Every structure is written in structure tokens, then in C-alpha cells.
A and B are shown apart, each in its own frame.
Chain A
Amino acid sequence: MSTEQLLLIEPLIGGLLCGFISKNTLRRSLLILFSLGHFVLTLFCVVKGPDPHPGNLLGADALSLLFLLITSTLFLPVSIAMSRYLARQKTEEKPTSLFASEAVFTAALLLFLFSMTLAILSQHIGLFWMAVEATTLSSAPLICYHRSAQTLEAAWKYLLICSVGIAMALIGNIALMVATSFDPALTDTSLAFAHLIQHAHQLQPIWIKIAFVFFLIGYGTKMGLAPMHTWLPDAHSEAPSPVSALLSGALLNCAFLGIIRIQMLLRAAGLEHFSQELLLFFGISSMLIAGMFIIRQTGYKRMLAYSSVEHMGILAVALGCAGSFATFGGMFHALNHSLIKGSLFLTAGLILHRYRTKNIDEVTGILQRSPITGVLWILGFLAICGVPPFSVFNSEMSIMTGLATQHHWIILGLMLLALALVFIGLAALMPRMAYGTPQANTEKMPPEKPIDWIPPVLLCATSLVLGIWMPAFLRNVIQMAADQIGS
């Protein structure tokens, strides 16, 4: 059995197993164990290097390796934070129904990891579509783990909007099949990405364009590109914080991978101008809309969610810009965003646990109440705004260099405007929470244990290290992924 197959089977077995274990401590340790196993297998795959001829259904090419690395690197610390989160919750409330039980929650979490791994490894447009649907189904119970009117509303909105998005992506699949049906030589062709790219010139150009538009709308909904992002702030703010970290850092990237693969097909067919303009448009509009909504935002988790919309916009711009600088920067940025947004959401979870409110105005003096959380919050703020020496600075700089070398001056100007908007918005909100005197009622809340800080500190530190020194193997993985997209 190949490493890729193991990588798929491992979280699947873990998920099924965890659904039937009733002992809480055992199940939580198993969760960490299985995510550690996933991480180790991912490292094996990365060391083995990309498969030059991935199969028609499953295979790990250079892009898969990079996104596997991002997902697995995020999932491991999040699983530690998750087990701590579950331990804290358990002492406070009793489950009311099936979907509120911890066993089902843990099972859904590992199945979510399985479906994301499947999406990353799939080399076939239909299989990828199914995997994205599976991610939606397995993550919905994660969002409404706490049964309340708000979480149900968020989960309903998430399901409805994403299911329409997935229906749009199905139309994209149909359009791509139609594109293959014009040339009689292609009648029995396989719908593997590599195969389609190989025969890109025999496909009907108008139908490829139609397919791209529907894929961009469909997977763009999942990725959180504005104006299809409306599910994202609700789901991210209502889900348990470790789940928000996964949604933001791993799930959005998986949808982005789908758009990357379709974009590669358009490039191979010589239609890249069409797709790049659309990507630039959606990217810039996401950044600007996120910037406008971040200013005067009242909930800190919603604020982080809009920041995710902004960063997804940056990724879309990087893909739309093409060129070696922007493509490399975009791939690096996907990693950086996952690291730092994971750290921020986990920190937000600690703040939420301590202050019992998602309202920015009701949180002050984190630094006094719990210095490490406060420092993490401030560092996260600096990192997500792209302040050096954090790695977000390097990747954003690389993307903007790419825009400049391609003479996309208007896009560059709008991007700088959006970054400034986001910076102003975040600067007005995040430091305010860290400084000042804390509310009196926060004193009686149980303080954090050292293990609570380990996951966000790990993620934040990794981002800091990558900003200063990038190990050769990582540069190699990112470079290979960028080369596969082509420049």
C-alpha cells in the first residue's frame, strides 16, 4: 500500500474508531495520536517527493504535497488545542443530542481531515468535487457543536450557501464534459486533471470558459471569495475556536486548490487572460470588502474571519497575476496565512474562555490578566498585518513584486489600499483588547494551563522563523508547487 493510500485511510479509521469510544480521555489522546500519525505520513510523502505521473484518481503531485503539508501542520497543534477545549467544555455542560455528543464531534473532526486529504490528493475533477462536498458535510456538525440559536443559524447558512456553491461546481463539471465532447478523438477521455491539461487544445474554448466561471463561483463560495463569502464570518465566529482555525487555515485552502487546478487547465488551453482577469477581480473585491467590514467590527472572531476573506483575496490575486514571483508568493502565503490564522483563532479561543464574550468592547487588559495570551494576540496582530520579520511580510512582498513586474499597477494600488484598510481596522481593534485594565469578572475564571499555550505558540513561532530563515526542503516544496502551476 502506498503512503498516499495510508494517508487517506488513517484519518478514516481514526474517525470511525473515535465515534465508538466512550471513554473521553482515551478518545482525546487518540485524536492527537491520529493527527500525529497523519503528520508523520505527510512528512514521508514530502521526503519521497512528488509523483511525476500521479494516477487518474489519486496521487500526490507537487501541489498536493504543499497543501498536505499545510493542512497536516495546522491539524496537529489544533488537535492538541481541541482535546484541551473538549476537556474544559465537558466539565461545564451535558450533551443534549446526538450531534452534541463528544464522540460524534471527534469522529466528524477526523472525517473532516479525511475529506480534506481526499480533496488534496484527488487528481480527477469528479472525485475532487465529491471530496469538497464531503468536507462540507463533515464540517457542518463541527460548527453547531454547542446547540444554540446562533450556532444553528450559522450551520444552516453554511450548509445552504455551500450546497448551492457545490451545485454550481457541478454545472462546471458538466460544462467541462461538454468541452471534451466536440472532438471525436476525445470521446472516451478520462476526466483526470493531468489528462485534460494534456489535451487542453482539443477542448472547446467557450465551454472551458463557462466551466471556469462556474468552478470559480462554486469553489469560490467555499473559499470565501467576496461576494460569496457571506457564510464565512458566521461559521467562523460561532464554531468552537479550534474548528474556526481549521476552517480558516485548512478548508479554505482546499477549495483554493480546486481553483488552482482549473486555472492550470485554462492556461494549458491558452485562455489564461480570461481566467486571470476574473481571479484578479474576485481577489481585489474580496480584499476591499473584507477591509470595509473589518473597520468598526464588533466581534473579534468575526474580525478574524473577515481577515481570512482578505487573505483568500490575496491568494486569488497571486494566482491571477501569474509570473514566478507572484505564484511562489501565493503558495508561500497560503502556508503563512494558515499558520498565523491558526495561532490567532486558538488565542481567540483562550480569550473567549477567559472573558466569556465575543464582543471586542467587553475585552480589555488581556496582557494583565494572562500575559502569554496577550503577547500572542499582539504578535498575531503584527504578523497577520504583514509586519516583518513575520513570514506574511515576505510572501505579500513577493506577490506585490510580481504585480509590479507584470505592470498590474491598478491592482497593486487597490491591493495596497485594501491592506491599509485592514491594517487600520485591526490596529484600532486588536491592541485595544490587550492593553488597559481587565474586567473584574474575569478574575474568577480558571487560568490557562501551559499546554493551552503550546499550540498557538508553536504556530506563531513557525511563522516567525519562516520569516527569517526558510529551510531548503520547504523552499523546494513551495518552488515545485509554483513550478507545477507554471509561470
Chain B
Amino acid sequence: MITQLLTAAILLLTLQMLGSARLGVLIRSVALQAGAMILLGIFSAHELPNWHEGLLLLTTFLLKCLVFPLLLRRALRETVIHREVEPLIGYTRSLFIGLVLLGAGLWIATRLPLPPKTINPFQLAIALATIGSGFILIVGRVKAITQTIGYLVLENGIGMLGFVLATGSPLIIEMGILLDIFVGIFVMGILMLDINREFDHMDTDKLSTLRDL
């Protein structure tokens, strides 16, 4: 029951982020989604996590639900004047693509041979849709900060995939924490490495002097 509620929450937050216009909302939602993802991992495990897994889950929680939201908020305060998301792919269209991804995820999940311990194909489908939505946020939004959030959504999807399929193998959680280093570097890049001072603003769309077409 509780795992189903958490799964539904993850899906709703994914869809909300695709359709949301405000950066502040995105930062809050991605942190909430990470929290739901970690709880899902705890509740869908067959036994309580041992101290090693517990420590890893705690690190993930601290990073994704406390450190990154705070850092992202600071980046938002210090660097962004316009707090809109500035989409390249419109909100309605993003939402529509999100729903198509969910459908595709369901289609894939019901056709794949699932490992014996897997609970239900809907969770797999929602994990896949979340990964796809992360891609949309990375590719379809202008600001560097939105791309960072998109990357976090992608990570949430992968984390959920790990919990659902590999039943929370500690190796996968460790690797997820290592992926978080990238997020840290992106935020640091926005805050410190002059991404906005050099370009006056941090639209990666304006980072386009290097190209061939």
C-alpha cells in the first residue's frame, strides 16, 4: 500500500516538474521526489537495511533532500534574475511527451521478462518515464540550473530503477552517490566558476559559439 502511494507520488512529481514554470517549485519537487524514491527503496526491501545500506541511504537523503536544494536555492538567489524556466519545449508539449513516455514505459515493462523478486511492472514503467522526463528537462530547457535539476530527475529515475530491479543493491546506491558528484560540480560551476559572470547570464543556449552547423 505505502509503496504504491510513494510510486504515485513520484509519478505526480515528475509530471508536475514537466509542466511547472517556476524554478523554485522545480527545486522543491525534485527534492521531494528524491525523498519518495528513498522511502520506496526502504519499504520495498524485504528486510530492514543493514548499517552499510542504511548509511548509504542516509548519505543519499542528505545530499538530495538537503544539500542540493539549499545549494540550488542559493544559486537561484545569487544568479538568476528571471525565475521562469524558459522552455525550448513548451509545458503542454513536455507534459504530453511525459505521458507518451509513461505509455511507452508500460508497454516495455509488461513485455520484458522481469526478475522473480520484482514487485510490479508499473514501478518499472514509472522509473523509465522519470528517466525520460529528466532527459526532456535537460534538453528542452534553456537555463543551466534547469539542466542541473533535469539531471537530478534523471538520477531519481535511475535510483528508482535500481530499487525496483536490483532490489536496492548497495553497489547501485554507491554509484548513485558518485553520480551526485556531477550535480555538485554543476551547482559549483553555476555558483563559482563564473558561468554567469563570463556570459552575463547562465543560459547554456547562449553557450553556442562552439559549433559546426
A interface residues (Cβ-Cβ under 8 A, vs B): 99, 126, 129-130, 133, 137, 140, 144, 147-150, 152-154, 156-157, 159-160, 163-164, 166-167, 170-171, 173-175, 177-178, 181-182, 191, 204, 206-207, 233-234, 237-238, 293, 297, 302
List 5 extra interface pairs beyond A133-B182, A167-B155, A167-B179, CB under 8 A: A140-B185, A149-B199, A177-B172, A204-B115, A207-B112
| Chain B residues positioned under 8 Å from A177 (CB to CB) | 165-166, 169, 171-172
Interchain CB contact (< 8 A) of A173 among B154, B172, B195, B209: B172
Interchain CB contact (< 8 A) of B198 among A129, A149, A233, A302: A149
CB of B209 within 8 A of CB of A191, answer no
**Cβ of B52 < 8 Å from any Cβ of A?**
no
CB of B209 within 8 A of CB of A153, answer yes
CB of B158 within 8 A of CB of A181, answer no
CB of A233 within 8 A of CB of B212, answer yes
Given known A-B contacts A149-B199, A163-B151, A171 and B210 have beta carbons under 8 A apart = no
Question: CA of A292 to CA of B140 in the docked complex: distance in angstroms?
Answer: 27
Interchain CB contact (< 8 A) of A160 among B138, B155, B175, B210: B138
Given known A-B contacts A149-B198, A173-B175, A174-B161, A167 and B166 have beta carbons under 8 A apart = no
Question: CA of A202 to CA of B210 in the docked complex: distance in angstroms?
Answer: 48
Does more than half of chain A's interface fall in helix, strand or loop, or is it mixed? helix
B interface residues (Cβ-Cβ under 8 A, vs A): 112-113, 115-117, 131, 135, 138, 144, 147, 151, 154-155, 158, 161-162, 165-167, 169, 171-172, 174-176, 178-179, 181-182, 185-186, 189, 193-195, 198-199, 204, 207-210, 212
| Chain A residues positioned under 8 Å from B182 (CB to CB) | 133, 137, 159, 163, 166
Question: CA of A166 to CA of B176 in the docked complex: distance in angstroms?
Answer: 11
Identity of the chain A residue whose Cβ is nearest the Cβ of B204 in the assembled complex:
A156
Identity of the chain A residue whose Cβ is nearest the Cβ of B175 in the assembled complex:
A170
| Chain B residues positioned under 8 Å from A297 (CB to CB) | 212
CB of A204 within 8 A of CB of B171, answer no
Question: CA of A144 to CA of B162 in the docked complex: distance in angstroms?
Answer: 34
| Chain A residues positioned under 8 Å from B162 (CB to CB) | 174
CB of A238 within 8 A of CB of B210, answer yes
Minimum Cβ distance to chain A for residue B103 (Å):
19
Does more than half of chain B's interface fall in helix, strand or loop, or is it mixed? helix
CB of A181 within 8 A of CB of B116, answer yes
Question: CA of A140 to CA of B182 in the docked complex: distance in angstroms?
Answer: 11
Minimum Cβ distance to chain A for residue B136 (Å):
12
CB of A181 within 8 A of CB of B166, answer yes
CB of B165 within 8 A of CB of A174, answer yes
CB of A170 within 8 A of CB of B176, answer yes
Minimum Cβ distance to chain B for residue A237 (Å):
7
| Chain A residues positioned under 8 Å from B199 (CB to CB) | 149
| Chain B residues positioned under 8 Å from A133 (CB to CB) | 178-179, 181-182
Given known A-B contacts A152-B195, A174-B162, A181-B166, A157 and B179 have beta carbons under 8 A apart = no
Minimum Cβ distance to chain A for residue B107 (Å):
15
CB of B210 within 8 A of CB of A234, answer yes
CB of A167 within 8 A of CB of B154, answer yes
| Chain A residues positioned under 8 Å from B138 (CB to CB) | 160, 164
Identity of the chain B residue whose Cβ is nearest the Cβ of A302 in the assembled complex:
B212
Interchain CB contact (< 8 A) of A182 among B116, B167, B169, B175: B116
Given known A-B contacts A174-B172, A206-B113, A152 and B147 have beta carbons under 8 A apart = no
Question: CA of A157 to CA of B204 in the docked complex: distance in angstroms?
Answer: 9
Minimum Cβ distance to chain B for residue A157 (Å):
7
CB of B115 within 8 A of CB of A178, answer yes
Question: CA of A221 to CA of B77 in the docked complex: distance in angstroms?
Answer: 34
CB of B210 within 8 A of CB of A150, answer yes
Identity of the chain B residue whose Cβ is nearest the Cβ of A127 in the assembled complex:
B171
| Chain B residues positioned under 8 Å from A156 (CB to CB) | 144, 189, 195, 204, 207
Could you list some 9 contacts between A and B, CB below 8 A?
Answer: A147-B194, A153-B207, A153-B208, A153-B209, A156-B207, A160-B151, A163-B182, A170-B179, A204-B113
Minimum Cβ distance to chain A for residue B194 (Å):
7
Minimum Cβ distance to chain A for residue B170 (Å):
10
CB of B175 within 8 A of CB of A178, answer no
Interchain CB contact (< 8 A) of B186 among A129, A159, A167: A159
| Chain A residues positioned under 8 Å from B165 (CB to CB) | 174-175, 177-178
Identity of the chain A residue whose Cβ is nearest the Cβ of B112 in the assembled complex:
A206
Question: CA of A233 to CA of B155 in the docked complex: distance in angstroms?
Answer: 27
Question: CA of A337 to CA of B147 in the docked complex: distance in angstroms?
Answer: 35
Minimum Cβ distance to chain B for residue A309 (Å):
12
Given known A-B contacts A149-B198, A170-B175, A177-B172, A164 and B210 have beta carbons under 8 A apart = no
| Chain B residues positioned under 8 Å from A154 (CB to CB) | 210
Question: CA of A175 to CA of B113 in the docked complex: distance in angstroms?
Answer: 12
Question: CA of A164 to CA of B194 in the docked complex: distance in angstroms?
Answer: 22
Identity of the chain B residue whose Cβ is nearest the Cβ of A237 in the assembled complex:
B210
| Chain A residues positioned under 8 Å from B195 (CB to CB) | 152, 156
Interchain CB contact (< 8 A) of B115 among A150, A170, A181, A293: A181
CB of A163 within 8 A of CB of B178, answer no
CB of A170 within 8 A of CB of B169, answer no
Interchain CB contact (< 8 A) of A149 among B147, B171, B179, B209: B209
Question: CA of A233 to CA of B165 in the docked complex: distance in angstroms?
Answer: 37
Question: CA of A70 to CA of B204 in the docked complex: distance in angstroms?
Answer: 36
Question: CA of A177 to CA of B192 in the docked complex: distance in angstroms?
Answer: 38
Which of B151, B175, B204 counts the most A-chain CB atoms under 10 A from its CB?
B175
| Chain B residues positioned under 8 Å from A99 (CB to CB) | 193
Given known A-B contacts A167-B158, A191-B171, A237-B210, A174 and B166 have beta carbons under 8 A apart = yes
Minimum Cβ distance to chain A for residue B208 (Å):
8
| Chain A residues positioned under 8 Å from B175 (CB to CB) | 126, 129-130, 170, 173
Minimum Cβ distance to chain A for residue B11 (Å):
19
| Chain A residues positioned under 8 Å from B172 (CB to CB) | 170, 173-174, 177
Identity of the chain B residue whose Cβ is nearest the Cβ of A98 in the assembled complex:
B192
CB of B115 within 8 A of CB of A152, answer no
Interchain CB contact (< 8 A) of A170 among B112, B147, B158, B189: B158
Given known A-B contacts A166-B179, A204-B113, A171 and B161 have beta carbons under 8 A apart = yes
CB of B198 within 8 A of CB of A152, answer yes
Question: CA of A129 to CA of B171 in the docked complex: distance in angstroms?
Answer: 11
Identity of the chain A residue whose Cβ is nearest the Cβ of B114 in the assembled complex:
A178
CB of A178 within 8 A of CB of B198, answer no
| Chain B residues positioned under 8 Å from A191 (CB to CB) | 171
CB of A126 within 8 A of CB of B194, answer no
Nearest 3 A-B pairs (CB), nearest first? A163-B182, A153-B207, A181-B115
